[in-house]
Amino acid sequence: MTPTNGTGTHGAVLQDTEPEDGSAVVELRNAGKAYGNIRALHGVNLTVRPGQVTCVLGDNGAGKSTLIKIISGLHQHTEGEFLVDNTPVRFTTPRDALDKGIATVYQDLATVPLMPVWRNFFLGSEMTRGPWPLRRLDIEKMKKTADHELREMGIVLDDLEQPIGTLSGGQRQCVAIARAVYFGARVLILDEPTAALGVKQSGVVLKYIAAARDRGLGVIFITHNPHHAYMVGDHFSVLRLGTMELSASREQVSLEELTNHMAGGTELAALKHELAQVRGVDVEELPEEEDLTAPVATAPEGSA
Ligand SMILES: Nc1ncnc2c1ncn2[C@@H]1O[C@H](COP(=O)(O)OP(=O)(O)OP(=O)(O)O)[C@@H](O)[C@H]1O
């Protein structure tokens, strides 16, 4: 269900230009970004299609935040092209991205902890009723809609009146995902949604990432964790020091290869060698050196 009247202007606006053939909604072609003399991102190719999860992996400082900021309208690219629905764009504010249906769920979630769940669901896009100047918040409708939308995504909460701050981190992520879906996002950018979560909670969030994908959204899932990425990903892009080191579809890369790539095969092999010299450190569980340094196929450009 999508919003009709009275939902304000802050949610992502549903576009009626959904590509029918699974073609790219968002595409970066040789894109890059320099902050003054610092080149944070260079030569990056990324394709986001409806109904697919594109995972962007990378260690600290790899350029993940810079990439998100370009797509979500916080920063502009300084190299290459950024296309939405095959048309080159240059967003100047996050509002431009939202207008194209690109919603970002940041790690801090921008919620008001003491406000009820339903109130946070509509924060900044409240439903109202009655004519001006007697217009008031339509509390009943907001509660009912939030409840319906959360259930549609398979999220069942005991009480929507409870302050959102009392939910677990995973539940809050799920509410944010359901909210973006309701407000008509076509592309959902998730900034390390499982980073601060335990195993069970991460599983719950991964389930809703899959639910958003099944509802036809293109998802960009930013993560450090190759295991989480592999559970839901259709395509994997690994950034290292601002460049894209690997771009491969699920068929082209195994979890083991992805993990080795993320770990930085050569560095980990060197670390294993060093750790082997330290008494009391068991290096048996680490992969063999030849596995760590084995090259992984990089998909040809445009095969995303
Ligand atoms: N506003 C800025 N001004 C100057 N340099 C920046 C700025 N933002 C990021 N950088 C640099 O760009 C590079 C990429 O940073 P970015 O934050 O995109 O990486 P990241 O993969 O998101 O890292 P993390 O996981 O630690 O957040 C880093 O070397 C960083 O120091």
- pLDDT tens string 132-163: 777 787 788 888 888 888 887 777 888 888 88
Assess whether the C-beta atom of 38 lies below 6 angstroms from ligand 1: yes
Pocket test for ligand 1, best of 64, 104, 190, 222 (most atoms within 8 A of CB): 64
Do the beta carbons of residue 105 and residue 12 sit within 8 Å? no
Single out the residue of 181, 176, 185, 146 nearest to residue 13, CA to CA: 185
Pick the CATH number of 26-252 from 3.40.50.970, 3.40.50.300, 3.40.50.1000, 3.40.50.620: 3.40.50.300
In whole numbers, what is the pLDDT of the chain averaged over residues? 80
Round to the nearest angstrom and report the end-to-end CA distance of the chain.
Answer: 30
Pick the atom of ligand 1 nearest to 67's CA. 18
Report DSSP state, residue 17: -
Q: For residue 232, what are the CA distances in angstroms to 111, 191, 195, 235?
A: 26, 15, 15, 9
Q: Indicate if the pLDDT at residue 66 is higher than 50.
A: yes
Residue 34: helix, strand or coil by DSSP? Answer: strand
- pLDDT tens string 89-107: 999 998 899 899 998 888 7
Ligand 1 centroid from CA 56, angstroms = 15
Confidence class for position 277, pLDDT limits 50, 70, 90: confident
Report DSSP state, residue 236: E
Residue 53: what are its φ and ψ, rounded to 5°? -105, 120
The residue contributing the CA closest to ligand 1 atom 10 is 40
- pLDDT tens string 75-85: 999 999 999 99
Ligand 1 centroid from CA 295, angstroms = 27
Alpha carbons 157 and 148: distance in angstroms, whole number: 11
Name 44's bridge partners: 31
Length of the chain: 304
Assess whether the C-beta atom of 62 lies below 6 angstroms from ligand 1: yes
Single out the residue of 238, 236, 203, 202 nearest to residue 219, CA to CA: 236
Pocket test for ligand 1, best of 38, 77, 237 (most atoms within 8 A of CB): 38
Single out the residue of 32, 57, 56 nearest to residue 42, CA to CA: 32
ipTM of the complex: 0.94
Pocket test for ligand 1, best of 35, 37, 108, 192 (most atoms within 8 A of CB): 35
Helix (H) or strand (E) holding 235: strand 235-240
Ligand 1 centroid from CA 46, angstroms = 18
Assess whether the C-beta atom of 66 lies below 6 angstroms from ligand 1: yes
Full DSSP string of 107-145? TTTT--TTSBHHHHHTTTS--EES-TTS-EE-HHHHHHH
User: Is residue 40 packed enough to be buried (19+ CB in 10 Å), middle (13-18) or exposed (0-12)?
Assistant: buried
- pLDDT tens string 210-246: 988 998 899 999 998 999 999 999 999 999 989 999 9
Assess whether the C-beta atom of 125 lies below 6 angstroms from ligand 1: no
Assess whether the C-beta atom of 64 lies below 6 angstroms from ligand 1: yes
Which residue stretches of 153-254 are H helix?
Answer: 169-182, 199-214, 226-232
Distance from the Cα of residue 25 to its chain's centroid: 15
For the residues 154-173, what does the mean pLDDT come to? 82
Ligand 1 centroid from CA 221, angstroms = 18
Do the beta carbons of residue 222 and residue 189 sit within 8 Å? yes
